[in-house]
Amino acid sequence: MDRSTRKLDHIRNALATAENGTNCFDDVSFVPNSVPNTGYEETKLATEFATFRLPSPFVINAMTGGAEATTPINQKLAIIARERQLAMAVGSQMAALRDPSLASSYQIVRKENPHGIIWANVGAEATVEQAKAAIDMLEADGLQIHLNVMQELLMPEGDRDFRGYLERIQNISEAVNVPVIVKEVGFGMTKETMRKLLEAGIRSIDVGGRGGTNFAKVENMRSSHPLTMFEDWGFTTVESLLEADSHIHAQSSVMATGGVRHGLDAFKAISLGAKAVGVAGALLRLIHTKSLAECLEEVDAWHHQIRVAMTALGIVQLADAINVPLLVTGKTAERARLRGIV
């Protein structure tokens, strides 16, 4: 299977499997406060994740690059990132590391947003040299290393050997001069995984949970032997955030991606400990169907929704959201209880 075809399949299938219904964030609600003693204008959206001071907690998370048809997608995402000061990650650069003629489909992101915060992206199979080359390709400010074991196993042409991941991740993080963010792609993370990453020297983690783009479904749609029984694999984004205990938060910055639909979901993730919130599928759908102006309006609406929640709860700085009382119900609460968390 040609890599360029795979990139386009992923976009098509991610759009086709869009889950607009309920997800893990619906199991989380806030305890209301009728006397919050704050004003909307006081609320601030700035946050700190890893070494980055981000004007907005929203991050345009890794999606694409590596085929000519992906250039306009990355271009539109990069303009949104520039216009609304969002950090942005590109999709896996492994394709361009093997075929440099594909680099321009990623470099458009730096071209459109010369001063923005941009993160490179490689798989855990990358060598130190490949990781450095991915950063150089974009003059990137950070590097994401994605973990996607279940996706690879369901991908007909995927990897089957996952030995040496932690060692390579550690070697990369010691050799590069930008923060390394290890992320899942939608199967979530347990506290045991996060602790192993901490032991490997990682200080920034994106829990990348189930609830939004479902890569088991995306790959099954491409497979002549789909393993549909794996489509519920993993931990949701909320379950993964509940897994991150005080030790993990003390040692690292945690961000959350997976199923974020709007500002209230983002604020729930932040109240559960996330320092930043990644969005992939929802933005892909937006840029696919809306004009640039409409996409910017939607991002403004997400920011407004966060500020409405902050005002109603009496929160001025996002960093204070961690103290807001939350109710966790339903399947999420039941599963967290089995893990000894709530």
- Map residues 212-241 to x or -, x wherever contact with ligand FNR holds by CB under 6 A: xx----------------------------
Asked whether residue 212 is marked as a ligand-binding residue, the answer is no
Told to check if 96 binds ligand FNR by CB under 6 A, we report no
256 lies in the site for ligand FNR, by CB under 6 A: no
Name the burial class of residue 136, with classes exposed (0-12), middle (13-18) and buried (19+) by CB atoms within 10 angstroms of its CB.
exposed
What is the pairing mode between strands 47-49 and 52-54?
A: antiparallel
Q: Is 62 annotated as belonging to a binding site?
A: yes
64 assigned ligand-binding residue: yes
Q: How far apart are CA 54 and CA 50, in angstroms?
A: 10
Residue 185 engages ligand FNR in binding (rule: CB under 6 A) = yes
Nearer to ligand FNR, 113 or 144 (CB): 144
Q: How many residues bind ligand FNR (CB under 6 A)?
A: 27
In this complex, which beta carbon is closest to ligand FNR, that of residue 172 or of residue 185?
A: 185
Q: List % helix, strand, coil for the chain (3-state, nearest 5).
A: 50, 15, 35
Residue 151 annotated as lining a ligand binding site: yes
Separation of alpha carbons 183 and 284, rounded Å = 19
Amino acid identity of residue 315, one-letter, is I
Q: Is the Cβ of residue 179 or residue 281 nearer to ligand FNR in the bound state?
A: 281
Return the residues of window 268-297 that contact ligand FNR according to CB under 6 A: 279-282, 284
Number of helices (H), then strands (E), in the chain = 15, 12
Q: Scanning residues 115 to 154, which ones bind ligand FNR (CB under 6 A)?
A: 121, 144, 146
- Record the tokens describing residue 305, joined without a space: 């929704």
Query: Closer to ligand FNR at the Cβ: 132 or 183?
Result: 183
CA distances from residue 26 to 30, 257, 315 in whole angstroms, order as listed? 11, 15, 21
Here the tokens at position 308 are: 């409405």
280 is in an annotated binding site: yes
- Taking CB under 6 A as the rule, does residue 257 contact ligand FNR? yes
Are 324 and 316 in contact by the 8 Å Cβ rule? The answer is no
Tell me whether residue 63 is annotated as binding: yes
Which neighbouring-strand residues pair with 253? 204
Answer for which of 110, 183, 222, 275 binds ligand FNR (CB under 6 A) is 183
Give 44 or 230: the residue with its C-beta nearer to ligand FNR: 230
* Chosen residue from 208, 234, 263, 273 binding ligand FNR by CB under 6 A: 208
Report 60-79 residues binding ligand FNR (CB under 6 A): 61-64
Contact assessment for residue 221 and residue 155, using Cβ atoms and an 8 Å cutoff: no
The Cβ of residue 219 has, within 10 Å, a number of other Cβ atoms equal to 26
How far, in Å, are 35, 183, 331 from residue 259 at the CA level? 31, 15, 16
In angstroms, how far is the first alpha carbon of the chain from the final one?
A: 45
Binding site for ligand FNR (CB under 6 A): 10-11, 14, 61-64, 91-92, 121, 144, 146, 183, 185-186, 208, 212-213, 257-260, 279-282, 284
- Going by the annotation, the residues of the binding site for Mg(2+) are 152
- Going by the annotation, the residues of the binding site are 6-7, 62-64, 92, 121, 151-152, 183, 213, 259-261, 280-281
